[in-house]
Structure 1
Amino acid sequence: MKSNSLYKLYLVGIFLTLNFTGFAQNLPVESFEKKLLETSNAFLLDVRTAGEFGGGHLPKATNIDFRSPDFANKIKDLPKDKPVFVYCLSGGRSAQAAEILRKEGFQVTELQGGYLKWTTKLKPLEGVPIVKHDDAWDLTAFGKLIQGENAVVVDFYAKWCAPCLKMMPTVDKLSTDYKGKVTVLKVEADGNQAVLQKYGIDEIPSFLVFQKGKLLQKTSGFREEAQLKELFDQAAGVHSK
């Protein structure tokens, strides 16, 4: 009986160890942010290039380029008594950096999906270059426009969102191709919080598809041209082949 209890404790210990070393160290945005805020002595490390860092970064982050020749030497100077929270653009470089950091004895937490995922979740940023924002929508007028048009595709974007910028030329092309059939409304996340809240948008890029004022689909994330065309066809009542 005693040996059986010891065996159970042993299994629990293994589970907790695996959970700590395997699962809890690569966290999605919400969990990463929560843990970061709860860790008073956290050290936030951005391992992207200086150019990437200069285009915007997480608040209070320190930049050490993972690709720089002296990366391994620089991290040795970091305080080992501070848990390290690390991220890159999408998770590849930070995973490699985390491996090196752990070998040096650091306690490391990675941001799953990196800076791209953080921005699409509309989380706080620092160092974003000042750009001219588009005019904000009036919430009432925006709602009336959706109700008054036969077919509407709403594009929620931001000028600092890489997937948004990559899709923009395609959205513009489809807007021209479907002129007279589908109305495209672009909503910049910055300055349009009331619209985002009204339609439950918590991630960008996001798209809403309306037909005669009725919401047909809500989707988020990067889409290739064929997938974007499906949204326009859906709004226009065309069945894609």
Structure 2
Amino acid sequence: MKTAILSLALFFWLSAVSAQVLPADAFDQQLRQTPIPQLLDVRTPGEFGGGHLPNAKNIDYRNAAFRDSLTRLDKNQPVFVYCLSGGRSAQAADILRKDGFSQVYELQGGYLKWTGQQKPVEGVPAKSSVKATALTPNELTKMLAANQLVLVDFYASWCAPCQKMLPIMAQLETKYAGKVTIVKVDADASKELMQAYQVDEIPTLLFIKKGSVANRFIGFQTQETLTSLLDENLVQK
């Protein structure tokens, strides 16, 4: 009997939590219907600077001061939280609930899903003229089979650190032509590939050697760091 009661309680708890993970349309509607919403963007400042939901406040989930920043929020008012694709926001929402926030709504699919549905954003810089490539997992698999060393740059036009890295990536393409395959992947258009490689931050660079991910870099990377990596692996090759 006790086991049955506990199972029933768990069922209702899971139902309540899942009801707070909302697809973009429902998240948008709930946000609009809330008189005093607290909208949190838990991505990095660099990602936030490349565009965000209107009136969002940036509190970086991976910053050491994240939990302290939550003390400035009102536990009696609903909190809406999102990240790039849903991973960090789920963890942030879990912390919020454990800290006593009862009304916590997560954006399912994150900023990628929101922008994919052409919903309003603000703070988006002018688009770059550099063309990025949309790739599927199958297309990348074929590319890896034909090339031993591949550097995959998950890029977005709204991403400020990505913009900063453009000249670096261009120089690397020229320097390592014929030795290392460097491909820029449009994050907005390559959601399936991002999910397959568990990419939830932009920019993310994957160095893939002989078909396996050897190195993963998140955020802005210097030319020195990437050059050292490629030179070292060319010697080992």
TM-score (ref. length: structure 1): 0.50
The aligned amino acid for 1:203 is E
The aligned amino acid for 1:170 is I
C-alpha distance in 2 between matches for 1:194 and 1:43:
30
Compared CA separation, residues 202 and 86, structure 1 to 2 (3 A): closer
The aligned amino acid for 1:41 is I
Q: CA deviation at 1:136?
A: 2.1
Render the CA deviation track for 1:80-127: whole Å, top value 9, x for unaligned. Answer: xxxxx5669xx9xxxxxxx9xxxxxx9548xxxxxxx95697842633
* SS state at 2:52 partner: coil
Compared CA separation, residues 206 and 54, structure 1 to 2 (3 A): closer
C-alpha distance in 2 between matches for 1:86 and 1:220:
18
Alignment-derived partner of residue 55 in structure 2: 61
* SS state at 1:176 partner: helix
C-alpha distance in 2 between matches for 1:198 and 1:208:
13
The aligned amino acid for 1:226 is E
Alignment-derived partner of residue 36 in structure 2: 41
* SS state at 2:161 partner: helix
Of 155, 160, 170, which residue of structure 2 is paired with 1:162?
160
Render the CA deviation track for 1:200-219: whole Å, top value 9, x for unaligned. Answer: 11111111112222321122
Q: CA deviation at 1:154?
A: 0.7
Is contact 1:147-1:213 (8 Å) kept?
yes
Of 119, 127, 135, which residue of structure 1 is paired with 2:121?
127
Is contact 1:45-1:61 (8 Å) kept?
no
Compared CA separation, residues 231 and 158, structure 1 to 2 (3 A): farther
The aligned amino acid for 1:213 is G
Of 186, 189, 195, which residue of structure 2 is paired with 1:188?
186
Is contact 1:153-1:235 (8 Å) kept?
no
Identity %: 34
Unaligned runs of 5+ in 1: 1-36, 47-52, 63-84, 92-98, 100-105, 110-116
C-alpha distance in 2 between matches for 1:127 and 1:61:
9
Alignment-derived partner of residue 210 in structure 1: 208
Compared CA separation, residues 237 and 87, structure 1 to 2 (3 A): same
Superposition pairs for residues 1-241 of structure 1, below 5 Å? 41-44=36-39, 56-58=51-53, 60-61=54-55, 107-108=72-73, 123-124=110-111, 126-127=120-121, 134-237=132-235
Is contact 1:171-1:228 (8 Å) kept?
no
Unaligned runs of 5+ in 2: 1-30, 42-47, 64-68, 75-81, 89-108, 115-119
Is contact 2:137-2:193 (8 Å) kept?
yes
* SS state at 2:199 partner: coil
Render the CA deviation track for 1:19-49: whole Å, top value 9, x for unaligned. Answer: xxxxxxxxxxxxxxxxxx8x87325599xxx
TM-score (ref. length: structure 2): 0.51
Specify which structure has the bigger relative contact order, considering alpha-carbon pairs within 8 angstroms and separated by 6 or more residues. Answer: 2
The aligned amino acid for 1:57 is H
Compared CA separation, residues 206 and 183, structure 1 to 2 (3 A): same
Compared CA separation, residues 205 and 56, structure 1 to 2 (3 A): closer
Q: CA deviation at 1:222?
A: 1.2
C-alpha distance in 2 between matches for 1:185 and 1:55:
21
* SS state at 1:156 partner: strand
Is contact 2:50-2:160 (8 Å) kept?
no
Q: CA deviation at 1:145?
A: 0.4
Q: CA deviation at 1:236?
A: 2.5
Q: CA deviation at 1:172?
A: 1.0
Is contact 2:173-2:182 (8 Å) kept?
yes
> How many matched pairs?
156
C-alpha distance in 1 between matches for 2:212 and 2:49:
42
Is contact 2:52-2:121 (8 Å) kept?
yes
Is contact 1:209-1:234 (8 Å) kept?
no
